[in-house]
Amino acid sequence: MNILFVNHHPQDMIGGSEIQCDLLARELTRMGHQVAYLAVNGKQSTYGAPYIVERASLRWGDLRHIVRKHRPDVVYWRFNKRKWLPSALLFRMMGVKVVFAISHLNDVKKWSHKVRFDATDWRGKMRQRIESIRPALSSRVNHLGFCFAYGVIAQLESQTGHIRAPEIVIPNSVDAHAVPFTWPKPFIVWVGSIKQSKHPEQYLQLTRRLQDLPVDCLMIGEIVHRNFQAAIQEAAALPNFHYLGAKTYHEVNGIMRQARLLVSTCEPEGFPNVFIQAWMQGTPTVSAYYDPDQMIQQYQLGAYSGTFEQFEDDVRRLLNDDRLRQEIGQRAKQFAEERFSVEVNATRLERFLMDTCMKR
């Protein structure tokens, strides 16, 4: 099969969906397929990948050129709904089948643009509402692109049943390779893009409350919303807080391996890569507000809290019980090895794409 992936490339913008595309593209290449990766607005001169990387925009001229050059049998689209309608329409006009891979709960909602209300004065609040109109309409219009989709790939069962197209659930994959990491004290870690939907301010609040414990609180991730810059700088004065900045996927694996806990304060979204990275490294997860498909509770992989007060209690409970924490870690590692193998997931994706190619 000739397969074209569409997304940012992780060497340009590291994120969960980009990492997943790279893992799958590498594995499908290893399996003998011809794989090209359209790195949307790519910045690198070379990517050093085993598959072909094409830097391009999503303008029709660029897309048409890429399709004519590589003649894909199927397009694997994992770029949310940005430019989804015109791109899916072009693929249909050129006789190329496209499947949509969900990376966030909002991908399957007709009105999915999130409006920010963090302004402090009425002028700022009014400006935010006005500025939200265009992207909200864009999200609704681009939703029509699903009329041209030949299939939908969900990460979770809860993401299915929203789009009229053949669908399959293929969870995220994980690469267990880890860069060694050492730290002088026991620590917990928070990992993610530092932005409003991840609620990093609540992790900083937790850090302040845990100063009575002999445990450090590490934070990893790029600061996306600059309004958190001051809060992180202020927290740097705390003896137990350490902001390490952005790290690579394999560096995060190494940090996870040594962490007592991964803690999460994110809102419901897709399927956070950091969860399965932690589980693969044998590290329990304590999540304040999100339990994808109730996995944490059902398979006893840590704790799902629901409130901030319970969140703190759960973190303290697991930090103070070495035996329980180790039991959960062993169970999480076994669960991850059985569920999130890139080899198994790529084989399932291969079968789904081949079935898609055979449709008229």
Q: What is the CATH number of the domain that holds 320?
A: 3.40.50.2000
On whether the CB atoms of residues 336 and 302 are closer than 8 A, the answer is: no
158 belongs to a structural domain: yes
Which H or E run includes 251?
helix 249-258
Q: Which range (55-59, 107-111, 343-347) has the least confidence?
A: 107-111
- Side chain identity, residue 92: R
Q: Which domain holds residue 29?
A: 2-172+341-358
164 belongs to a structural domain: yes
Mean pLDDT of the chain: 93
Q: Are residues 17 and 112 in the same domain?
A: yes
Residues contacting residue 120 through CB under 8 Å, at least 6 positions apart? none
On whether the CB atoms of residues 183 and 220 are closer than 8 A, the answer is: no
91 belongs to a structural domain: yes
Q: What is the pLDDT of residue 114?
A: 61
180 belongs to a structural domain: no
Q: Is 0.75 surpassed by the pTM of this model? A: yes
**What is the three-class DSSP state of 101?**
strand
Q: Are residues 144 and 257 in the same domain?
A: no
Q: Look up residue 330 and give its two tokens.
A: 């062993």
Per-residue pLDDT band at 120 (split at 50, 70, 90) = low
Quick: pLDDT tens for 290-315. 999 999 999 999 999 999 999 999 99
The number of domains in the chain is 2
Q: How large a percentage of the chain has pLDDT more than 90?
A: 81
Q: Are residues 274 and 353 in the same domain?
A: no
Q: What is the pLDDT of residue 148?
A: 97
Q: Are residues 150 and 201 in the same domain?
A: no
Q: Are residues 191 and 325 in the same domain?
A: yes
Quick check: 323 pLDDT over 90?
A: yes
Region 166-178 average pLDDT? 94
Instruction: Give the other-Cβ count within 10 Å of 226's Cβ.
Output: 9
Which has more pLDDT, 268 or 194? 194
Quick check: 138 pLDDT over 60?
A: yes
177 belongs to a structural domain: no
Q: Are residues 136 and 85 in the same domain?
A: yes
182 belongs to a structural domain: no
Region 203-224 average pLDDT? 96
Q: Are residues 9 and 145 in the same domain?
A: yes
Residues contacting residue 297 through CB under 8 Å, at least 6 positions apart? 291, 304
Quick check: 223 pLDDT over 60?
A: yes
Q: Are residues 153 and 191 in the same domain?
A: no
Q: How large a percentage of the chain has pLDDT more than 70?
A: 96
Q: Are residues 194 and 132 in the same domain?
A: no
Region 254-265 average pLDDT? 98
Q: Are residues 209 and 321 in the same domain?
A: yes
Quick check: 359 pLDDT over 90?
A: no
Q: Are residues 134 and 197 in the same domain?
A: no
d(CA 274, CA 262): 8
Q: Are residues 144 and 194 in the same domain?
A: no
263 belongs to a structural domain: yes
Region 272-282 average pLDDT? 95
Q: What is the pLDDT of residue 115?
A: 56
Q: What is the pLDDT of residue 113?
A: 58
207 belongs to a structural domain: yes
Q: What is the pLDDT of residue 116?
A: 58
Region 194-212 average pLDDT? 95
